[in-house]
Structure 1
């Protein structure tokens, strides 16, 4: 029997690789002769660097940059084992988790630090990029990132506008005459796990602004500023980003890169699956069962998350999928129609969230053992 172990990370608890190892341990406890293949996954959010680097035997680099408020910090990026593609997680430099709650400031927060990571990779000779946009503290439409690559954003008087999303209301001109020469040879692929447009009632500012510290009044101002930025992009590049699906990711960073760098926007899982060549893995290894998982199964799971993506991909090869999760809020019937046969919570007794996170590896192993006993008994 061949089992593919392909989970996402459990946020703030275990990496996808650590989960894979815990699942494998549970499988081998029941039957050591079962062949397992570990492919840790991600959906473009936290843990994507680690998942791709582990799968491709790549390297991770930690460098000096700045956080979303312009303060010095360390952040990491990855380069795949073939030395062709850089994986940049916006959250590594410009993430909301790097800022205290009382410091959140979407008016002035900037993606500049993420642009510095891209610049480092370009200087290493990399020309292909996967940009992962989950967990940002910003609402600047990616202008900070673009500034680090040589773009200049000017007001009507020709002065450079300030960092942050609110200053975009003063934007008059995008000057790309002094951008990095290497950009013309670069391909930017955006791993996006949301479908929100750039602006409007479901746009970046309206949906994600409040969690980044924006009041209702500021949300409206930020949305107007991004709309103005979108108008300038359309005037400059003849590209309309206002209502592009996924353009609202990371405070509009997705739309800004789409408009100014001709970046391509993909479902996070689909992009990672393509990068890791999951179709070939499934077709070449006679996989009988897939075991996946993520920290929380909820209403968002069916929208491009790992459980949904790997179940659907496995179903195309007639391979069933079982999911292990930390918590279950909602299970969509759509998941069962796309190849998922069952979901199991790893929690085996009443316990706090912090305790379940502390003992997650052991809980995963024990639940995997029970799942395998039940599954094998039905064969």
Structure 2
């Protein structure tokens, strides 16, 4: 019997690798001699680097980069087991954790450090870079990233403009000629489920600006600046990124990555499925276990359990997909109607405060997995 175990992290409790291990431990109490394939998963958000490192026997790399306030910090990213693929969470360099209510200011915060992480990955000779772009503190359209990678963003006096979304109003021309030439030799994929355009009522400034410290006046200014920026990109020979789906992700970093690196936008969970070779590993599976901290109707919009179910059903259509979750929310019936997910089980044993539930998570998840395995055995 072959069990494929491919969960996301249980946030606050277990990493994806730890969750996979405790699920396997529970099933082994019933099927000690079965084949177990553990594939830690993620959906492109927080924890993606760790999950892909764990799934591919990769390693972490550290680099000194500039945070959103242009101060030097140490940030981490991952090199996968083949050493040819880097996985970067932009928040590691440009995330909200670097600002507080007093310093959050998207007029000055920059993605320069994310560009430095990309450059460091290029220095390691990678052929592919996966970038997760959630949790940013910026609304600069990826201009800082472009500057770190060699693009020259110039004002009317042919001087470099400043950093941050506020400086984009001064942009007169963009010189692409000094962009790092190695970008042409790598594939860059952006893990994001955000479909917002760069500008307008659904754009980066209007939707995400307030989360990063922008008041109403700032939002209007940033939106105008991003529109100006997008026009200058086109005028200076770049791609038209203003209206593409996902351009507004991470304060417009999606637009900058497409315009300056030729990046391709993809669903985060699909990128992780490809990087971990989940489909290949699931061939011949008898049962698939997945899960994460919470599951509800939104899970079908790119979350890990739904992505795992869809991917594994393509190669092992008769293998039931079983989801374990710390909390089951509203609308899970919609997941059953997809025919991809076969059963959903809550893992906490009894009602308990959240703090205690997190402490008990390893034992509770293992026990739930064991109980499901006992049901499988009784039914076979």
Q: Same fold (TM over 0.5)?
A: yes
Task: Give the aligned CA root-mean-square deviation in angstroms.
Answer: 1.9
CA-to-partner distance for each residue in 1:2-55, whole Å, 9 max, x for gaps? Answer: 111101112343211011111111111233223211000111111111222222
C-alpha contact (below 8 Å) 1:45/1:193 kept by paired residues = no
Q: Are 2:97 and 1:97 aligned?
A: yes
CA distance in 2, matches of 1:201, 1:349: 45
Q: Which residue of 1 aligns with 2:122?
A: 122
1:310 to 308, 311, 323: 308
Given the two structures, how large is their TM-score scaled by the length of structure 1? 0.93
CA distance in 2, matches of 1:188, 1:51: 19
Matches within 5 A, 1:102-181: 102-181=102-181
SS state at 2:68 partner? coil
SS state at 2:109 partner? coil
Q: Which residue of 2 aligns with 1:350?
A: 351
Q: Are 2:36 and 1:36 aligned?
A: yes
Q: Which residue of 1 aligns with 2:52?
A: 52
Q: Which residue of 1 aligns with 2:10?
A: 10
Cα offset, 1:299, TM superposition:
4.4
SS state at 1:360 partner? helix
Cα offset, 1:101, TM superposition:
4.2
SS state at 1:76 partner? strand
Structure 1 unpaired stretches of 5+? none
C-alpha contact (below 8 Å) 1:312/1:338 kept by paired residues = no
Cα offset, 1:315, TM superposition:
2.5
- Going from structure 1 to structure 2, the CA distance change for 1:296 and 1:83 (only over 3 Å counts) comes to same
Cα offset, 1:193, TM superposition:
2.5
Cα offset, 1:162, TM superposition:
1.7
CA distance in 1, matches of 2:291, 2:273: 15
Matches within 5 A, 1:212-251: 212-251=212-251
CA distance in 1, matches of 2:148, 2:238: 23
CA-to-partner distance for each residue in 1:194-231, whole Å, 9 max, x for gaps? Answer: 22222222222222222222223322322222222222
Structure 2 unpaired stretches of 5+? none
- Going from structure 1 to structure 2, the CA distance change for 1:30 and 1:217 (only over 3 Å counts) comes to farther
C-alpha contact (below 8 Å) 1:314/1:320 kept by paired residues = no
The worse-fitting range, judged by mean Cα deviation, of 343-352 and 39-48 is 343-352
- Going from structure 1 to structure 2, the CA distance change for 1:243 and 1:36 (only over 3 Å counts) comes to same
CA distance in 2, matches of 1:224, 1:333: 43
Q: Are 2:198 and 1:202 aligned?
A: no
C-alpha contact (below 8 Å) 1:237/1:260 kept by paired residues = no
- Going from structure 1 to structure 2, the CA distance change for 1:347 and 1:116 (only over 3 Å counts) comes to same
Given the two structures, how large is their TM-score scaled by the length of structure 2? 0.93
CA-to-partner distance for each residue in 1:311-337, whole Å, 9 max, x for gaps? Answer: 111222313211122223333544221
Cα offset, 1:139, TM superposition:
1.3
Residue-pair matches, total: 377
SS state at 1:326 partner? strand
Q: Which residue of 1 aligns with 2:286?
A: 288
- Going from structure 1 to structure 2, the CA distance change for 1:126 and 1:236 (only over 3 Å counts) comes to same
Q: Are 2:266 and 1:261 aligned?
A: no
- Going from structure 1 to structure 2, the CA distance change for 1:31 and 1:127 (only over 3 Å counts) comes to closer
CA distance in 2, matches of 1:43, 1:312: 14
CA-to-partner distance for each residue in 1:114-171, whole Å, 9 max, x for gaps? Answer: 1111111212222321111122111111111121111121222322222112222322
CA distance in 2, matches of 1:329, 1:216: 34
CA distance in 2, matches of 1:276, 1:373: 29
C-alpha contact (below 8 Å) 1:43/1:306 kept by paired residues = yes
CA distance in 2, matches of 1:169, 1:270: 37
Q: Which residue of 2 aligns with 1:300?
A: 298
C-alpha contact (below 8 Å) 1:132/1:191 kept by paired residues = yes
SS state at 1:145 partner? helix
SS state at 1:7 partner? coil
- Going from structure 1 to structure 2, the CA distance change for 1:194 and 1:378 (only over 3 Å counts) comes to farther
CA distance in 2, matches of 1:190, 1:237: 22
C-alpha contact (below 8 Å) 1:30/1:373 kept by paired residues = yes
Cα offset, 1:310, TM superposition:
0.8
CA distance in 2, matches of 1:152, 1:23: 51
CA distance in 2, matches of 1:358, 1:237: 55
Cα offset, 1:338, TM superposition:
4.2
